[in-house]
Structure 1
Amino acid sequence: MKEKIDYLNRELQGMPLVDALAFVIKNFEGKKVFSTSFGIEDQALTHFLAPYAEFITTFTLDTGRQFTETYEVFQRTQNKYPALNVQTFFPDAEDVNTYVSKHGVNGFYNSIENRKECCRIRKVVPLQRAIKGAELWITGLRAEQSENRSDMQFLEWDEANQLVKYNPLLHYSLKETEALIDTYNIPLNSLYKKGYLSIGCAPCTRALAEGEPFRAGRWWWEDGKKECGLHIHTDKNY
C-alpha cells in the first residue's frame, strides 16, 4: 500500500481538483466514503463529488448538539444535490444517557478528559459504523486549518481506521475555498459569514475574533492542540 500511496501522491502534485478527484476515485476499487459536516470545505467537495454519487457513500455524523443553521444547510444541500443521498449516523442513545448521568448534559466543559469522551461517544464511535468496510475516506481537511494538519499528504494511510484517507483540498487556502463556493453557488452555512469558520457542535463552537486562527473557536476554553479524535495524524509509517 505504501508504494501505491507514494505513486498516487506524486501523480496528484499540481493536478486540478476535478481531474484529481476522478483520478483517485478510478484508482480505488473498494468502498469509498465521503464525510461531510457541512462546513465550507465539505460543501465545496460536495459540489465536485456529486457526479460520482453512484460510486461514493456520503455521510454525516449528527451528534445531537448541532446548530439549527447546520440542519438548514443540510436541507439546502440535499435539495441541490439529491443524488448524493447523505446518510446520517447518530450516537448510541445508551452511551449518551450514561455520559449525561455521570458528567451532566454539559459535562464536557469540566475537563479535557470529559470533552474527549463526549467527542468519542458522539463522533468517533458513530464514525466507525460509517466507514466500516471502506477502502477510501474522502475528507475536507486543509493543511492551513491547524498545526496538526500542516504536514499531511493528499493520500495517507490511516492506521487507526485501516484505510486510505484522501484530502483533495489539502493545499487550498481559505480564500480559494471561498472562491469555489461563490463561483458555483454552493450552499453555505449562514453562521460562516458571522465568524464561525470552523463549525462543530453548538456548545463547543464560538465565532472567531479578528485575527484568531481558523480553529480557535472550537473548544475555546482549552489550551494546546485541539482535535476531536476523528482525524489523527501521528502515524506516518503506513
Structure 2
Amino acid sequence: MSTPSLAERRERQLAHERDRAAHLAHRAEISRTRRTTPELRVIALEAEDRFADGDTDTLLSWVAEEFGDLTAVACSMADAVLPHVVARHIPWVDTLFLETGYHFAETVGTRDAVESSMQLTIVDVQPRQSVAEQDAQYGERLFERDPALCCQLRKVEPLTETLGGYEAWITGVRRDDSPLRADTPFVTWDEKNGLVKINPLADWTFDRVLDYAAEHDVILNPLLNDGYPSIGCAPCTRRVAPGEDPRAGRWAGLDKSECGLHT
C-alpha cells in the first residue's frame, strides 16, 4: 500500500474536521436536558444489577440509547482503546483529557494523534491554576510534598466541575489494574460526582487491551512499550519491573496508589 501524499493527508484531515463540526452542529440542534440526580441514581442502581455480568458491546449499546451525547469518556491517553470502543456506539463522544500541565511529551502527542484521527471530540479539562500559579501559592513541586493535594487541584476538582453537564461518564478502570479495583462493577452510581459511572472494560485484562489495539490499529502511547503499563503525570510515574503490580510505578515510595478520581 502506497503512503498517502501530503495533499491526501491534508484532505483527510479537513474531512475529519468537517465531520466533527457537522456533528457538533447537529448536537446543538437536538440539545437534551439533563435529568435530575434522583432519576439518574435510579437508572444506575437498576443497571448495576442488569449488567452485573456485562458484555462490553451490549452495555455500550444501552449507554448510547439511554444517555447519548450526555455521555463523556475519561481518557488518560495511555492508549485510545476505551474511546475507540465507545465511539463505535457513540460517534464523536466527548472525551475528557485532564490537562494537568505535568504530562509526558508522549502523552500529549498521543492526545493530538487521537484527536486528528478518531471520531472523538477531545475536551481538555483544565485546572483553575496554571502550574506557575499553583507554585506561587503552594510552593514548587507540590506533587512531592503533598501529592494528594496536587491531584485534588489538578485532576479531581476540574473533572468534578466538568462532569456536572453530563448524565454518565465512562472510564477505563479494569479489575486487573490493582487489588483496590478487583471488584469494579460495570455500572455504578457515582455519589461524589452525581452521575452514572460506566466501566465497560472492567473484566478486560491488559493483554486484551493490547490485542484489541493491535487488531483495530488503535493508537497507543509509546510509553506502554517502554515499561510504563500505567501512565500518569511525569513527575509521579516510573517504569514498572517485570512481575510488579501494573500501578506500582504510580507515586512509587509513597502511601498512595490512586489520584482520587475513582475513590
Q: If the length of structure 1 is used for normalisation, what is the TM-score? A: 0.85
1:181 pairs with 187, 204, 213, which one?
213
Contact map agreement 1:30 1:136 (CA 8 A) in 2: no
2:241 corresponding residue in structure 1: 209
Give the C-alpha shift of residue 190 in structure 1: 0.4
Residues 232, 250 of structure 2: 8 Å contact kept = yes
DSSP-derived class of the 1:23 partner: helix
Aligned residue in 2 for 1:124 = 156
Cα offset for 1:180? Answer: 0.5
1:35–1:59 Cα contact (<8 Å) kept: yes
What does 1:1-238 align with in structure 2 at a 5 Å threshold?
4-28=43-67, 31-40=70-79, 43-51=80-88, 52-54=90-92, 56-81=93-118, 83-93=119-129, 96-97=131-132, 99-110=134-145, 114-223=146-255, 225-232=256-263
Two-structure CA RMSD over aligned residues (Å): 2.0
Could you tell me which amino acid in structure 2 is paired with residue 9 of structure 1?
E
> Could you tell me how far apart the structure 2 residues matched to 1:6 and 1:162 are?
13
Structure number with greater CO (CA < 8 Å, separation at least 6) is 1
Alpha-carbon distance, 1:14 to partner: 4.9
Aligned amino acid, residue 230 of structure 1:
L
In the superposition, relative to structure 1, how do residues 86 and 24 fare at CA in structure 2: closer, same or farther (>3 Å)?
A: same
Percent identity of equivalent pairs? 34
Q: Cα offset for 1:17?
A: 2.2
Unaligned runs of 5+ in 1: 233-238
Q: Unpaired runs of 5+ in structure 2?
A: 1-39
User: When the two structures are aligned, how many residues end up with a matched partner?
Assistant: 223
For 2:6, the equivalent position in structure 1 comes to none
